[in-house]
Amino acid sequence: MQLLGQATDIAPYANWMPPMLSEHGGQIDNLISVLHIFMAILFVAWGAFLTYTVIRFRARAGHKADYHPVKGKASKYAEIGIGLFEVFLLLGLSMPVWAAYKNNPPKADDRVEVRAIGEQFQWNFHYPGPDGVFGRTNAKFIDAASNTVGLDPDDPAGKDDIQTIGEMHIPVGKPIYVRVSSKDVIHSFAIPTMRVKQDCIPGMEIPIWFTAKEDATTERVKREMIQEFPVADVDWYRLRHHVAVQDYQDESGQVILKEGEGIGLSREAGEKKLKTLRDVTDTIKMQPRNPLEIICAQLCGNSHFKMKAQVFTYDAAGYQEWMDNAVPKEVEIDFGGF
């Protein structure tokens, strides 16, 4: 399997982590890497010591157990050293990253605000629309089909508000200020590629913010993540969230797999499609249907695994176009840019 576009730094896979597409994510990745290395050293050292003690002090003829505590300087110094390093991790690495990030929220006139409301088992999003003002909300107005955030129909400020289910749309290069809450139980709003995670507590609205890299638009990231798969070895499960980047035809010219089409929603359909493709090609080029997603990082019920949403990132013009199309059609307001 070959990953195309490896020369770019837009969406590289490195250090066992997913692509990092936010401006603040580098500091978090560095911290995670240091922690992993430190824990690996501890694991190897303590594992070696445990192996030594099991062998050295095993029960055998001619030896009697000594039940008095062993006194030694080496173990004392080792514990002190580990404790000091953990203090360094907290005070020298973790707290500065936290302070630089959490103590500097973006200014109100320089950010895009979004409300993210978790519920079993979906993410609901609320945008203030072109007037920049969120309409009033109340639980009594919630309708699962048409008003998932509970907008007050009598509030003029909410007439141009935008609601989406399972889709978050944001511009790149501009601070995104997400106001996170929950309708029912504790959820956790997490975007792995943006290095963002925040628990959603019922009855509370907690802000979290991030800025997507200037060049991390959805379409560009998808292009950067084109992969070439050998059809003889790959299966439906591996490709279930991918789409073709070109048409694939049989000898008669009939299209087997169209550009932008997935191989099937079920394993049966996917394996049937792959069987047909094996007769006409050795490899297929695919890209993620959408590589950017929101997950719930807190076990929230029996369908927790389904609680996902797609993130769509745009340049300034693309975001404006999305908002133009998303605002309720009966509203006529001069957008004037975002």
Distances in whole angstroms, Cα of residue 289 to Cα of each of 113, 225, 241, 242, 262: 26, 10, 6, 5, 8
Q: Model pTM?
A: 0.78
The answer for residues whose C-beta is within 8 angstroms of residue 150's C-beta and 6 or more apart is 137, 138, 139, 140, 141, 142
The answer for residues whose C-beta is within 8 angstroms of residue 62's C-beta and 6 or more apart is none
Residue 51 lies in a domain: no
Q: Which two tokens stand for residue 155?
A: 């509030």
Residue 335: in which H helix or E strand, if any?
none
One-letter amino acid at 129 equals: G
Q: Which two tokens stand for residue 193?
A: 């590629």
What is the largest distance, in Å, between two alpha-carbon atoms of the chain?
A: 94
Residue 68 lies in a domain: no
Provide the CA 274 distance to its chain's centre, in angstroms.
Answer: 29
Residue 256 lies in a domain: yes
Residue 116 lies in a domain: no
Residue 267 lies in a domain: yes
CA atoms of 291 and 283, how far apart (whole Å): 21
If one counts the domains in the chain, the total is: 1
CATH number of the structural domain spanning residue 245: 3.90.105
Q: Which two tokens stand for residue 26?
A: 């580098």
Residue 238 lies in a domain: yes
CA atoms of 238 and 234, how far apart (whole Å): 7
Residue 265 lies in a domain: yes
Q: Is residue 177 helix, strand or coil?
A: strand
Residue 268 lies in a domain: yes
Range of 257's domain? 226-288
Peptide bond into 57 cis (omega under 30): no
* pLDDT per residue as tens, the chain (338 positions): 333 333 345 555 556 778 889 988 888 888 888 888 888 998 999 899 899 989 988 888 888 877 787 777 777 888 888 888 888 888 887 888 788 777 888 898 899 999 999 999 999 999 998 888 999 998 899 988 889 999 999 999 889 999 999 999 999 999 999 999 999 999 999 999 999 999 999 989 999 999 999 989 998 988 888 889 998 888 888 888 899 999 998 888 888 889 989 988 889 988 988 888 988 899 999 998 888 999 999 999 999 999 999 999 999 999 999 999 998 876 554 444 44
* Bridge partners, residue 122, by sequence: 119
